[in-house]
Amino acid sequence: MIVYAVYVISEDGRTLLSENFQSKEVPDAVLLGGLFTALQQMASAMTSQEQELESVIIEGLSYHIRSFGMIRIVLVTDVPRSPEETIQTLGLRFMKEYGEILVDWDSNLNIFNPFRNVIREIIGEDKSGIIINPIKKLNTGEIFNLPHLLQPTALALLSIGEGTVQEITEEINRNAPLDSLEVRKTLRKLQELGYIGIKYLEGNNIYFCTI
């Protein structure tokens, strides 16, 4: 299963927090909050037992929705099967941290920011199988236009196809010395720019690119 994003939405449809795990474009957080709240209300109105909408598939991505009192958690994945344990953990942890604050919340979204680390921690507990794909292809022109400090890392990755930080560092060091700390920084920057992806395999972060 690939986890693409997590959204925390208030009862009235405002997105309190969203966290993306993927370069692939997922819907705008503000729009998504309103959309799912409206869908939820529509689903409740249309069913006699006031049953809530649990999952919806849009353009190949599955949106799993669960209510936890004053909030809803939306987890976006690549599979229709609901990741029940993860979504429950996310909702309960959020309510434990912010339940009381939400009672008379002053609309300050910044107070939820520390929960980003909790989301990453929960999603990261079982990272195996998570793949963050690059959104841009590497080619001569793109590499040429990269800041020159990123070029050796991009070239090394292009040469070996995929690898751990250690393997990429070894490849770079065939031509010029660069320590693994610097390589990590350049990998992070290349990932932010959308040129490289990451997958978690047997406890290792494997970086890769597409051409």
Partner 1 sequence: MAQKSLKSLAILSHKGGVGKSSIAVNIAVHLAKTHSVCLLDNDFHGPSLVTFFKKREDVKYINNYLLENEPLENCLQEISKELNSLLEGKIWVGFADPTPESIQQLIRIDQNASIKMLKSLMKMKKRLKEAPFNIDYLIIDCSPGTGYSTVNVMLTANSSLFIVKLSNADLYGTSQMIAGLYKQLKSRTLVLSNMIPKLFIDDRKTKEEIRTLIEKRFEHDIGEEGAVKFLGWIPSDLELQNIEFQEALKALKGLQSSRIIYTLEQPDHIFSTTLIDLIPILFEEEKPE
Closest approach, Cβ 136 to partner 1, in A, equals: 12
- Name the residue nearer to partner 1 (CB basis): 24 or 136: 136
> How many residues bind partner 1, per CB under 8 A?
17
Look up residue 82 and give its amino acid: S
Cα–Cα dist 190/194, whole Å: 6
- Closest distance of CB 133 from partner 1, Å: 18
Mutual angle of helices 165-172 and 180-192, in 10-degree steps: 110
Q: Identify the residue among 60, 110, 144, 203 touching partner 1 (CB under 8 A).
A: 144
Q: Considering only residues 50, 113, 148, 202, which one is a binding residue for partner 1 as defined by CB under 8 A?
A: 148
Find out whether 89 and 112 touch, Cβ atoms under 8 Å. no
Q: Which of 70, 118, 158, 165 binds partner 1 (CB under 8 A)?
A: 158
Closest among 125, 78, 127, 68 to 99, alpha carbons compared:
68
Q: What H or E segment, with its residue span, contains residue 66?
A: strand 61-68
* CA proximity to 146, closest of 187, 118, 110, 116: 187
Binding mask 161-190 for partner 1 (x = CB under 8 A): -------------xx---------------
151 is a contact residue toward partner 1 (CB under 8 A): yes
Give the separation between CA 110 and CA 200, rounded to whole angstroms. Answer: 30
Three-state secondary structure call for residue 49: coil
Which region, judged by CB under 8 A, interacts with partner 1, from 13-21, 60-68, 140-148, 183-191? 140-148
- d(CA 136, CA 193) in angstroms, rounded, equals 8
Report, in Å, the least distance between residue 52 CB and partner 1. 47
- Which 12-41 residues touch partner 1, going by CB under 8 A? none
Applying CB under 8 A, which residues contact partner 1?
137-141, 143-146, 148, 151, 155, 158-159, 174-175, 211
